[in-house]
Chain A
Amino acid sequence: MNSVASNAINQSGEGQKSMNNVVEAGCALELRDLRKSFGKTEIIRGANLAVKAGERVGIIGPNGAGKSTLFNLISGRFEPTSGDVLLNGHRINGKKPFEINRLGLSRSFQITNIFPKLSVFENLRCGVLWSLGYKYSFWHFLADLDDANDRAEALMDQIHLHKKRDVLAMNLTYAEQRALEIGITIAGGANVILLDEPTAGMSKSETKRFIELIREVTVGKTLLTVEHDMGVVFGLADKIAVVVYGEVIAFDTPEAVRANARVQEAYLGSVLADAQAAGH
C-alpha cells in the first residue's frame, strides 16, 4: 500500500510530461461546494472542481459567470461565504493572499498588476525573494544574493525581456507588461498557477506567441487559466471547466466538453459552431 503511494509520487516527480497517465492520489487544487455572496446576490453558487497536479485547465464561461470571482476566492483576494478550497489537500479558504502564495499558489491579474516604478529586473527579483527565504531581511545586500539574481536573470530570459532589463515597468509596451506579469507570477516557483485572461487586449499574432510562452514557462505545473479566445483555450488546455451562473457545469477534455449537450445549450452552442466552421 505504502510502496504504491510512494511509487506514484516518484512517477509524478520524474515524468511530468506523461502526467495525464499517472494516477494521482490527491488533487493540486480542489473546490468543494464553494459559495460567495455579495450582499444578497450569490455570485458563486456551489462550485465544485478537482484539478490534478500537472493538469492545464482552461476556464470558460459567459461574461459575468463568476470566473474572475472564482480566481479571487482561490487566491485569497476574497473570502468564501461557505465551502472549501483545498490546495494540495490543505484547506486555504480564509487565508490571506500572502499565506496562500507561500503554500505554492500564484496568480496573475486581468488588469496588469506590476510594480510600475521598478525596473524589469527589480520586478522579477521582488517576485523571487520570499521563496528563496530572504523574507524581511535588511541584513543582506541584494547585490550579493547570487541565487535571487540568477533566478531573476533566468526568468528575464524565459519571458524574453532581457533586452529591457533596466527599463522601468511603466515604460514597457502592453504586451511586454503582460509578459512581465506572467514572469512575476511564476517567479516564486509556485506549483499551481492561475492566469486571469493572460492574453486580454492582445492582437492575434501576439496572442499566438504569448500562448507559446505560457506553455513554456508552466511546464510541469498545474495551470488554471481564464480565457475568452476559444481557439486559445482548446489549444492550450488538457481540460476545460465551463462556468455558468456561478457553477461549474462541465469539467472534461476539450472534445467531451464540445460534445456536452448541457454546455452547448447553456453557452457554447453558437460559438462552438463558429469555431468548428472556422476549422478548429
Chain B
Amino acid sequence: MSAVYKFKPYNVGRWVIWSLFALVLIAAPLVFTSNLSTTMLAQMGIAIIACLSYNMLLGQGGMLSFGHAVYTGLGSYMAIHALNAISGGKLNIPVSLLPIIGGVAGMGFAILLGYVTTRKSGTPFAMITMGVAELVFAMSLMFSEFFGGEAGVSGNRVAGETFFGITYGPQIQVYYLIAAYTFVCVALMFAFTQTPLGRILNAVRDNPERVEFVGYNTQMVRYIAFIVAGFFAGVSGGLAALNFEIVTSEVVSAHRSGAYLLFTFLGGATFFFGPILGGVLMVLAFVLLSELTKAWLLYLGLVFLFMVMYAPGGVSSLIMMNLRVASFGFLRRFWASYLALAGTAFVILAGAGAMIEMVYHLQLNAALGDELRYMGATLHAKGLNSWVGAIFVMLTGLGLFELTRRVFLQDWSDVQVDIEKEIKRREAL
C-alpha cells in the first residue's frame, strides 16, 4: 500500500508561505515609513536570525545555552574590525559581504569553544556555556585593543567601492541588505531542519542514549549543530555591526545571551517559526516597551514567568493550537471566552501596573512629588486611596479572571474531545 504512495506532491503551501515572507520583508518599510520603524525593522531582521540560530540549539537540539551572545557578539567585533580595515584601505571586499565575515568568525569561535561546550549535554552543558560567556565578557574588559574598552569599537559603513550606487549611507539601504540576509538565513536554517543531521539533532534532543545505539556519536551531532548555529549567530552579529556602526562589550554580555533565551522561548521553541515571532517581540520590547515605562524589565519578567507556567510552547504553540481548533471549525466557541479572558487580564494588569508604577515613581521621581498620571487617572503614590484602589482593582480582576479561566478550560477540553471524535469519524469514512 505504501509502495504505491510514491509521488512527491508539489508543496504549494510552502511556496505560498515563503513568497509571503519575502513580500513582508520587501513591503514592510513601504508601509511603516517613519525613521523609527525602519530602524526597528532592521533590528527585527537581526534579532530573527539570532533567535533562530539560538533555537537550533534550544528547540531542535535540547541544548540550553546561556552564552549565545558570545557568537553573535564576536561576529560583530570581527565584522566591525573588518569594516575599519576596509575604510583604512587594508581590505578590499564589498561591505555587503561583512555579515559573512561575522558568520565565519562566529563559526570559528564555535569550532573552538564549542568543542569543550558540546562534550556535555543537559545541565553541565548549560553550566559550561555560562562559564564560557563569563570568560569572554571578562576578556572584553581586559583586551581593549580588540574590544575597544568602555567606548567600544566604532566604524563607518560608507566605505570601499560602491556597488550600483548603494553606499549603505541611508538606513533604508541597510534595511534591505538585512532583509536579504534574513530571508536567505531563515531559508537555510529551515532547510537544515529537513536534513539527516537536522533530524538526528531532534533525536538527540529526545533520547540521546538511543541515538548512540543507532550508530551516531551524539557529541559529534551536538558539536556540528553548534558550529552551524555559531555561523548564523555570527551573520546576525555582522549585520548588527553594520546597522549600528558601533560594537560595545554589551554584545557579548550575559544580558544579551539571556535576551536570546527569553525571546526564543516567548516566541516558542517547538515550532520553527516561533523564534521569528520571538525576534519581533524582542525589538518591540526593547524599543517600544522601554519607552512606555521604566518598569519594562519587570513586566517582561512577569510575561516570561506566566509563559513558562501556562504556555511553555510560547506564542507559536498558542497560535498552532488555535489553528488546529479553527481547522475543525470550533474556534467560534471561544470568541466570548477570549474576550472575557483578555478583559479580566487587563483589569489585573491595570491594578498591578498602578502599584508597580507608584513604586517606581517613589524610587525614581521622588523630587516630582507623589502625583503621577496613569491610564488617564491621577494617582498619589503616598496616598492610601490610590493603593487601596489599585489593590481592589487587581483583586477584582484576579477573581473574575480565575472564573473565566475555569469556564474556558472546561470549554477547551470539551472541544478537544469533540476534535478527537471528529478525527475518529473521518478515519472511519
- Interface, chain A (partner B; CB < 8 A): 75, 96-98, 101-102, 106-107, 109, 113-118, 122, 125-127, 129-131, 134-143, 145, 148, 153, 156-157, 162, 165, 184, 187-188
Contacts and interface: CB of A to CB of B under 8 A. Distances in A.
A115 B196 contact: no
B244 interface: no
B2 A116 contact: no
A138 B192 contact: yes
Contact of B210 (A114, A122, A135): A114
Interface in B100-159: none
B215 A131 contact: yes
A101 B214 contact: yes
A174 B300 CA distance: 42
Interface residues of B, number: 32
B190 to A, nearest CB: 11
Given A126-B203, A143-B8, A153 B214 contact: no
Given A122-B199, A141-B191, A162-B2, A115 B206 contact: yes
B197 A113 contact: no
Contacts of A153: 2-3
Contacts of B379: none
B413 interface: no
A130 B206 CA distance: 18
A94 B221 CA distance: 21
B8 A118 contact: no
B213 A138 contact: no
Contacts, number: 105
A134 B196 contact: yes
A138 B197 contact: yes
B195 A140 contact: yes
Interface in B210-236: 210-218, 220-221, 224, 228
7 contacts: A98-B213, A98-B216, A109-B210, A115-B210, A130-B214, A145-B196, A165-B2
B378 interface: no
Interface string B178-205: 0000000000000110111111101101
A118 B203 contact: yes
Given A101-B215, A115-B203, A130-B216, A184 B210 contact: yes
B204 to A, nearest CB: 9
Contact of A136 (B194, B205, B210, B221): B221
Nearest to A106: B213
B161 interface: no
A157 to B, nearest CB: 7
A118 B206 contact: yes
B202 A118 contact: yes
Given A101-B214, A138-B198, A153-B3, A113 B220 contact: no
A137 B212 contact: no
B53 to A, nearest CB: 14
A107 B210 CA distance: 10
B226 to A, nearest CB: 12
Given A141-B195, A143-B194, A98 B200 contact: no
B214 A188 contact: yes
B250 interface: no
B207 interface: yes
Interface string B1-34: 1110000100000000000000000000000000
Contacts of B220: 136
Nearest to B1: A162
A264 B3 CA distance: 51
Given A98-B212, A115-B202, A117-B202, A138 B217 contact: no
A138 B202 contact: no
A98 B215 contact: yes
